Structure 1
Amino acid sequence: MMTMPHERTRSIIQARDFLVDLSQDQALPESIRNEARRLLRHYPTSNEVLLAGKVEEQMKDGLTLPFLSSTTEGRYV
């Protein structure tokens, strides 16, 4: 089954939220929290991911689907 742009967008945003949770979980070893913080330094925010999706949607060439979406729902805005 093919992953749709809105599903990919939602997964990327959820992965960032997961890394934030890991980075703040005092029950985890410091090394895990540090690694999560290290990854978050360059990880896009949800607004950046959604903006990238919006840009891709506006660049329709008729040949390819956008990789990302401007929404995490199953519709284009």
Structure 2
Amino acid sequence: MSSYREGTAYLQLVPTRYPYELKVVNATQRKPSIVDPDAVVVKVRLRVPCAAFEPLQPEAVITVPAELVQHPVEVDAVAND
């Protein structure tokens, strides 16, 4: 039996007007099909000890390296007549 519980979330993040700060504008369990303008999507896998599920308020700080951030590219095709 594992002593951890795991979950995955997709966070849509946009920069704020303050340097080095982000605002979470959406969080989902599946990869979003629509991304807000100016947002990046970060897939986050969380592993939380089972002992944390007590009447406490667990908190974690996660640093995401730049090479792990994926920038989706959308293309609109236009037919030439």
What TM bracket, shorter-length normalisation? under 0.3
Q: TM-score, normalised by structure 1?
A: 0.21
Higher strand share: 2
Q: TM-score, normalised by structure 2?
A: 0.20
Structure number with the bigger relative contact order (C-alpha 8 A, sep ≥ 6) is 1
Higher Rg: 2
